[in-house]
Amino acid sequence: MLKRVLPFVERFALAGVSECTALRVVGTRQLTPHMKRITFSGTSLHAFATDADLHVRLLIPPPDAPRDGWLAIQQDGKASVRNRRHKPIMRKYTIRAIDPSSGRLDMDFVLHEDGGPGGLWAAQALAGDLVGIIGPGGRGLAPADWYLIAGDETALPAIGRMMDTMPAHTQGHAIVEIADAREEQPLAVPTGMSLEWLHRDGAPAGTTDLLLEAIEAVRWPSDDRKAFAWVGAELAAAQAIRDHFSNRCGLAKADQLVVAYWRRTAIG
């Protein structure tokens, strides 16, 4: 009964989640045929500028809500839903780049014809559109001497974000599975790392073993260097990769982070 009368922001606070922060779309750019970058402006963004937590919960308006007036914005940038009938649609996304001093934030969105509400919103996003974010959350890289970073296109924003902040001498290997060569994009790869692109070339996402097979072929350090593996992929692939790390590579749980970013039966 209590949840029915509390404002939207307070309900999330009770759930242990930080307040909703308002963001307004200020620009969009098509990076590749299926990857779109949206630039937002907002205030009080310093809490989101952390490499320890890369992800946020993005709150987008339902179809029956106005694009730019469905949130009531306070002076400090926090927000609440103006009309309680407009229940936000929530999806997790990665902050690709953030500059709190200028109040700018970038997110990259994978666009699919059969995508869910998040992808559909991103495909139609225009300057002036209003959204909210909650967070940050999710884990990034743990300290190590050598890294394996891998994922499909849904993990590409996180992979790019991590590489942007890695020291130039970082050692390791990165693997990214994408639809085809047109989906490759420039990444700030450290000089001590190699980057491998995997192309599905017509096969639907989540239907191949390309990522798993490439990870199985990785040559791990043979010396005493501490290794850490980070992977973001479809649920079934993530489960198989996690099993490979634990049972075949002998990686401890503390030395790996394998995240299921999506399920093939419910993209978006």
Q: What is the CATH number of domain 2-137?
A: 2.40.30.10
> Do the strands 192-199 and 171-178 form a parallel or antiparallel pair, or are they unpaired?
parallel
Residues 28, 36 contacting (CB under 8 angstroms): yes
For the domain made up of 146-262, give the CATH fold. Answer: Rossmann fold (3.40.50)
Q: Where are the domains of the chain?
A: 2-137, 146-262
The tens digit of pLDDT for each residue in 88-115 reads 999 999 999 999 999 999 999 999 876 6
146-169 burial by CB neighbour count: b if 16+ within 10 A, else e? bbbbbbbbbbbbbbbbbbeebeee
Residues 38, 122 contacting (CB under 8 angstroms): yes
Per-residue confidence in pLDDT tens, the chain, 268 aa: 233 333 333 333 333 333 589 999 999 999 999 999 999 999 989 999 998 899 999 999 998 888 888 888 888 888 888 888 888 999 999 999 999 999 999 999 999 876 688 999 999 999 999 999 999 988 889 999 999 999 999 999 999 999 999 999 999 999 999 999 999 999 999 999 999 999 999 999 999 999 999 999 999 998 999 999 999 999 999 999 999 999 999 999 999 999 999 988 744 4
Q: In whole angstroms, what is the distance from residue 85 CA to residue 137 CA?
A: 27
Average pLDDT, the chain: 89
The tens digit of pLDDT for each residue in 127-140 reads 999 999 999 988 88
> Do the strands 227-234 and 55-60 form a parallel or antiparallel pair, or are they unpaired?
unpaired
Q: In whole angstroms, what is the distance from residue 198 CA to residue 156 CA?
A: 12
DSSP-based three-state secondary structure for 179:
coil
Secondary element (H or E) of residue 121: helix 117-124
Residues 105, 95 contacting (CB under 8 angstroms): yes
Look up the pTM and report it: 0.88
Secondary element (H or E) of residue 158: helix 156-165
2-137 and 146-262 have identical folds: no
Cβ within 8 Å of residue 221, ≥6 positions away = 145, 146, 227
In this prediction, residue 173 carries a pLDDT of 98
Residues 76, 44 contacting (CB under 8 angstroms): yes
